[in-house]
Chains A and B, each alone.
Chain A
Amino acid sequence: METSYETIIIGGGVVGSSIAYHLSERNKGGILVLDKKFPLSGTSGSTQAWVWVHNKTPSWYAEFSMYSAELYPYLSKKIGDVEYKRTGGLSPFFNEADREKALLLAKTYESIGIKIKVLTREEALEKEPSLNPEVAGATYSSIDGNVNPFRLVDRYMRAAKKNGVQYSTYNKVTEIQKLPGKFMVVSQKGTFQCKNLVLAGGTWSRELGKMVDITIPINQLRGQILVTEPLKPFLNYTISGLRQAFNGEVLIGYSMEKEGFNRATTLEVMQETANLAVHYVPSLRKAKVVRAFSGIRAMPEDGFPILGRIPGVENLFVAATHSGVTLSPLIGTLMTELILDGDTSIPIDRYSITRFNNMETK
C-alpha cells in the first residue's frame, strides 16, 4: 500500500465516501479513505434515510437540502441502484391549530422554489388512505423521498474504488501532524502522508478535531427505530415518522435522546415509537416488529452542517453534519469543488466552522 496521497479522508460513512467518490470523478488516484471500523458501522448504518426537505427550517437550510435531493436521480444513474425513491413527503398533523403554522411554512417556501401543499383532512386521506382518519391535515411536498443507506454507501465506495480510491478499514487514526505543505496521518496500520486532509468522522468529529487542536462542536443524539416484517406495499409516501422500504419493511421512529455514544434500545422509547406508528397508521397494529435498532446522530451544536476549510490550517477540511444521507450528494460535490478549485458553486460560508466562537486553536 502506498504511503503518500494527494488527499486523505478520515471517515468512510456516507459523508466521507461521498466526498471520496465525487473527488475521484475528477481526480483519479491519490485518494485514501481511512476508517476505524468498516463503513456503515457508524451513523450511516443506523439511519432512517429519508431524503427530506420540505419542513427543514430555516428556509436557507431547506433550500440547501433541496439542491441535494435534486442530485439524487442523476447520482443513482452514475453509481448504480441505491433504491432511491422520490415518493413525496407527508407530515401529518392532528391539531387544527397546526394548520396556521403549516400555511406559513408553505408561503415562505414558495419563494425559494419548494412547493408545499397544506392538505385538508380529506385530501390527506385520499393521498394516504391508511392514515388515521382523525388526522387534521398534512403538509406535502413532492421533493421528499428515501433511499437505502446500505446500498448508498456501498455504491459510493464501489464507484470510488473503481476510480482508484483506496480504502483502509479497521484502521483507526490516532494522531495527525501538520508539517509544512503536508500532513502526517498516523494510523494503527502505519503513517500516511497527504497534501489535503478531510475530517469526516461523524459523531467522532470532536476526537479528530483534538488531533489538530481545534474544537469541532458535534454532539451525540440517539434515535431508536422499529422495523416491521415485510408488508405488502401500502404506504404511498414517506411519512415523517415512518416509511416503507423497497422490501416491504416499515421503518418507524423519530426519537431524540441525549445518551452519548450509548447505542442501546430501550423499552420505553420502543413503546413510544409503537404509539407513534399506530397513531399515524392504525392498521399497523397488526404488523409485527422484527427488529429494533438505535443510531447516534452526529449533531452539530446549532443543528446545521459544519462544512469547508478549517481556517488557520492550510488544506485542512471538515464535513460533519446531521441529515448526512439527504445532504451527501451535495456535500460530496461542493467539497470536491472546494478542494480542487478553491471555491464552491453554491456558497457554503454559512456552514463554516468559524461561526462557533469557541473553535479557536488552543
Chain B
Amino acid sequence: MDKSTIICRCEEISLEEIEKVISNGARTFDDIKRLTRCGMGPCQSKICNCLVAAAINEKTGTPFHEIPLPRMRMPISPIKLDTLATNSTTFSSVKSVLDEVELEDGKVR
C-alpha cells in the first residue's frame, strides 16, 4: 500500500495518518479511531476495519489474532431518530440539566 492510500473512505483517512498515530503508541483500532476519526463514518468501520488491522500488523508486528476488534455497537446500519423514538416524554435515566439545580430554603444552593 502506498502512503497516500485512503484506508477509511468515509472519513478520508490515509495510510500515512494511521501510521503516524501507530508510531505515537496507538495499538488498537479504537486508539486509532479516537485519534484520527478513522472508522467513525457512516459505515462504522465495516470497510476500513481490516485495512487498519493490516496496518497495525505491518507497523508493530502484532499478529492478527492479537489485535482487538473494534467494539461493535448499535445501530448496525444508520437508523432515523424517528424510528428509534417512542415519543414518550417521561424519562427515567435521561435527565434535564435544570432538574439537577438544587434548591435549599428557597435559594439556589
Is A279's CB within 8 Å of the partner chain B? Answer: yes
Say whether B65 faces chain A, with CB atoms less than 8 Å apart: no
Residue B84 CB within 8 A of the other chain: yes
Query: Which label, helix, strand, loop or mixed, suits the secondary structure of the A interface?
Result: mixed
Given A91-B97, A278-B87, A291-B40, are A40 and B34 neighbors across the interface (CB < 8 Å)?
Answer: yes
Per-residue CB proximity of A273-316 to B under 8 Å, as 1/0?
A: 11111110000111111111100000000000000000000000
With a cutoff of 8 Å between Cβ atoms, the chain A residues found around residue B4 in the complex are: none
A135 and B44 alpha carbons, distance in the complex (Å): 34
A41 touching B40 in the complex, CB below 8 Å, given contacts A59-B108, A276-B94:
no
Task: Judge whether B80 and A285 touch: CB under 8 Å.
Answer: yes
Complex interface residues of chain B between 19 and 70 (CB less than 8 A to chain A)? 25-28, 30-31, 34-35, 37, 40-42, 44
Tell whether B1 is near chain A: CB-to-CB under 8 Å.
no
Interface membership of A187, Cβ < 8 A: no
CB within 8 Å for A102 and B98 given contacts A285-B85, A288-B79: yes
Among B25, B73, B96, B103, the most chain A Cβ lie within 10 Å of the Cβ of: B96
Q: Which residues of A contact B89 (CB under 8 A)?
A: 275, 279
Partner of B80, one of A267, A286, A293: A286
Q: Quick one: given A55-B101, A108-B108, are A154 and B35 in contact (CB under 8 Å)? A: yes
Given that A270-B74, A272-B92 are known contacts, is A289 also in contact with B97, CB under 8 Å in the complex?
no
Other-chain residue from A40, A105, A271 in contact with B101 (beta carbon distance below 8 A): A105
Instruction: Please tell me which stretch of A63-71, A176-184, A250-258, A352-360 contacts chain B, meaning at least 4 of its Cβ atoms lie within 8 angstroms of it.
Output: A250-258
User: Do A275 and B93 touch across chains, with their CB atoms under 8 A apart?
Assistant: no
A255 touches B93 (CB 8 A): yes
Please report which residues of chain B, range 87-109, place their CB below 8 angstroms from some CB of chain A when the two chains form the complex.
87-89, 91-98, 100-103, 106-109
A58 at the interface (CB under 8 A from B): yes
Kindly report which residue of chain B lies nearest to residue A293, judged by CB atoms: B73
Which residue of B74, B93, B98 contacts A267 across the interface (Cβ within 8 Å)?
B74
The reply to whether B81 and A277 contact each other, CB–CB distance below 8 Å, is: yes
How distant is the Cα of A271 from the Cα of B75 in the complex, in angstroms?
12
Contact A241 B97 (CB under 8 A): yes
Contacts of B97 in A (CB 8 A): 55, 91, 240-241, 254
Q: Within the assembled complex, what's the spacing in Å between the Cα atoms of A270 and B81?
A: 10
- Pairwise interchain contact B95-A256, C-beta atoms closer than 8 A: yes
Q: Is the CB of A271 within 8 A of B86?
A: yes
Cβ of B109 to closest chain A Cβ, rounded Å? 4
Quick one: given A40-B31, A108-B107, are A228 and B81 in contact (CB under 8 Å)? yes
* Cβ of A69 to closest chain B Cβ, rounded Å: 16
Distance of A114 Cα from B85 Cα, bound (Å): 36
Question: A residues within 8 A CB of B2?
Answer: none
Which residue of A228, A229, A273 contacts B94 across the interface (Cβ within 8 Å)? A273
A-B contact pairs, 13 of them (CB 8 A): A40-B35, A41-B34, A45-B34, A58-B109, A169-B27, A255-B95, A271-B84, A272-B92, A274-B85, A278-B82, A278-B87, A291-B44, A291-B75
Known: A91-B98, A169-B25, A288-B79. 4 other contacts (CB 8 A): A57-B102, A101-B103, A276-B94, A288-B80
Could you list which residues of chain B lie within 8 angstroms of chain A, going by C-beta atoms? 25-28, 30-31, 34-35, 37, 40-42, 44, 73-75, 78-82, 84-89, 91-98, 100-103, 106-109
- For the complex of A and B, the 10 pairs showing the least CB-CB separation, nearest first, are A240-B97, A274-B84, A288-B78, A285-B82, A274-B85, A58-B109, A108-B108, A40-B34, A38-B31, A272-B94
